[in-house]
Amino acid sequence: MSHKIERRLVLYKNLQVRYVELNKNNLNGKSVTVGFSGGVDSTASVLLLKDRFEHVETATMWLYDGQENEFEFIERQAKALGVGHEIFDFREMFSKTVVDPYVSYYEQGLTPNPCVFCNKSIKYGLFLECIKTDYLALGHYSRKCLVDGEYRIYRSNTLRKDQSYNLYSLTQEQLARIIFPLSDFKSKEDVRKIAEPYLKQSTESMGTCFLMGEDRVKYFKELSLSSSVKGFFVDKVGNIICEHDGTVNYTIGQKPKIWKEKIEGVAATSKVGNYQHCLEKKLESGTDSPYIRIGTVVDVLPQKQLVVIGEEQDVMTNRIVLDEVNIISEQREKEISSYSVQSSQENPASIIQCSQGNANKESNFCEEKIFSNTGFRVSVRLSQWSEVYEGICWFDTSFESEEDKGELLVGSVLKTDDRTLVSSSKKGNNFIRGDFRESVLVVQTEKPMRAPAPGQAAVLYLSNELIGGGIIQKSRRK
């Protein structure tokens, strides 16, 4: 053995001792399956667990056609590590629960997160049910702790690699069987040093896996979907600005780049005239860029092939509504559930009623400067890498669609007959526990959130603890 490899193995053993010391549970005689891709994280996970568990296996989820090209490499990796390997064919279920909703969301003008679909139905659902071992180990950078008899999830020590955002749908039953071997590491480099002597090649998962690097627009065109058909950019009153290549290219908050030639010859409107004037000013100042940014996407309407362009202020909001909510800890759920709201149709201000004695406190949702402390304090992320917003949340058991009131909503600017947006708990809310199956979770922030896209997951934290989350339905402008 070379001195270089020997030194790495010494490092691995030292780190493994630290891992064992931090996990006091007696796992003698227990077995574990490692979700295995053959990459850095899953290889390091196997090495960390081999001396910890009596029996270690690896397994790979077969999710889509074309993935089988990776299996020979994965099986070689498992053999080199001295562990068994199994492949579970989940292609049919993956197509129904991940690919189909992914396509459907874009067809409705929503912005899907396929990883959220997969985690909920496949990785932490079907996969966990199929393995025969006591535990499932995943190479996620997140921490699981037992607090007052409940499992809690915390952000990773490796904040730059933290993956807790994608774990918000986990239940206590699932967490009892899931472990995160990499939870103690503070850098990816430490993990890499463990796995490196055994790696034949190293790959990082990027993008939407089942597209296999293919352009999303091309994929949708091959399916002849309405969201891939050419249409028009329009302003908020319906004036045509120029042509686009398909609504699937755009999401709320995006700032499209448009070639100069595309707006030449379009019937002049005041809006288009302004855009052309901006282009002329740029050219006069020495900028010879062939395109301009025409504004901010504020709505996407695939059935009419329209992308609505507005101003930056149109995608700013202090309030979002979440459906399909999951709260990980029952204790945290009770704390949030102590707050309820009774909506007022006559007054834009609503009365927040709290069973802990803070009743009848007013909070005006539409005014940015007025912010109520009567709610469960949370930090909010709109995506894995988004800015963190401070605010409060509460369950709304009498939720009414603001769209029915004619108010301007982010993601719902133009009122069209064929617009399909789930907008209330009556259309599929499935909150898991307690008396809140017919409620949604309302989140209100101190600082306006930028472009919360309907269809994406919003995830809630209390300091570094992952509380839970849900799917963004729509949000009211400030």
For the chain, the straight-line distance linking the first and the last C-alpha, in angstroms and rounded, comes to 65
* Tokens representing residue 167 in the block: 């774990």
CA 43, 46, 47: angle at the middle one, nearest 5? 90
Residue with tokens 């909001």: 317
Tell me the whole-structure pTM to 2 decimals.
Answer: 0.79
Asked if residue 33 lies in contact with residue 59, where contact means CB atoms within 8 angstroms, the answer is: yes
Q: 366 catalytic, yes or no?
A: no
Catalytic residue from among 115, 118, 242, 393: 118
The number of CA neighbours under 13 Å toward the Cβ of 266 is 22
**Nearest alpha-carbon partner for 421 in 437, 410, 436, 431:** 410
Cα–Cα distances (Å) from 299 to 272, 406, 451, in that order, read: 18, 16, 10
Q: Among positive and negative, which fits the CA dihedral 453, 456, 457, 461? A: negative
On whether the CB atoms of residues 122 and 97 are closer than 8 A, the answer is yes
Contact 382, 458 (CB under 8 A): yes
**Domains by residue range for the chain, with CATH:** 3-209 (3.40.50.620), 216-310 (no CATH), 313-476 (2.40.30.10)
Give the CB-side neighbour count of residue 416, counting CA atoms within 13 A. Answer: 23
Per-residue model confidence as pLDDT tens for the chain (478 residues): 443 333 333 343 444 433 333 344 566 789 999 999 999 999 999 999 998 899 999 999 999 999 999 999 999 999 999 999 999 999 999 999 999 999 999 999 999 999 999 999 999 999 999 999 999 999 989 999 999 999 999 998 777 778 899 999 999 999 999 999 998 888 888 999 999 998 876 666 667 898 888 888 888 888 888 899 999 999 999 999 888 999 999 999 999 988 766 665 454 444 444 555 454 444 444 456 677 788 999 999 999 999 999 999 999 999 999 999 999 999 999 999 988 654 433 332 333 333 333 333 333 333 333 344 578 999 999 988 899 999 999 998 765 544 444 333 444 444 333 322 222 233 333 333 334 445 789 999 999 999 999 999 999 999 999 999 999 996 544 4
| Cβ atoms of residues 293 and 256 within 8 Å | yes
* Helical residues (DSSP H) of 234-369, grouped into ranges: 260-263, 270-284, 330-337
Decide: 433 and 419 in contact? Cβ < 8 Å: no
- What residue ranges in 169-235 does DSSP mark as E strands? 178-179, 231-234
Task: Note the pLDDT of residue 151.
Answer: 97
Q: Which residues of 258-287 are buried (b: 16+ CB within 10 A; e: fewer)?
A: bebebbeebeebebbeebbeebeeeeeeee
**5-17: b or e for each residue (b if 16 or more CB lie within 10 Å)?**
eeebeeebeebbe
Q: Which of 295, 253, 249 is nearest to 271 (CA)?
A: 295
How far apart are alpha carbons 181 and 199 in whole angstroms? 18
**Which member of 115, 130, 145, 209 is catalytic?**
209
Cα 440 to Cα 429: distance, rounded to the nearest angstrom: 7
Select from 372, 369, 258, 367 the least CA-distant residue to 309. 258
- Residue 209 is among the residues annotated as catalytic for this protein: yes
Are the C-beta atoms of 93 and 124 separated by less than 8 Å?
Answer: no
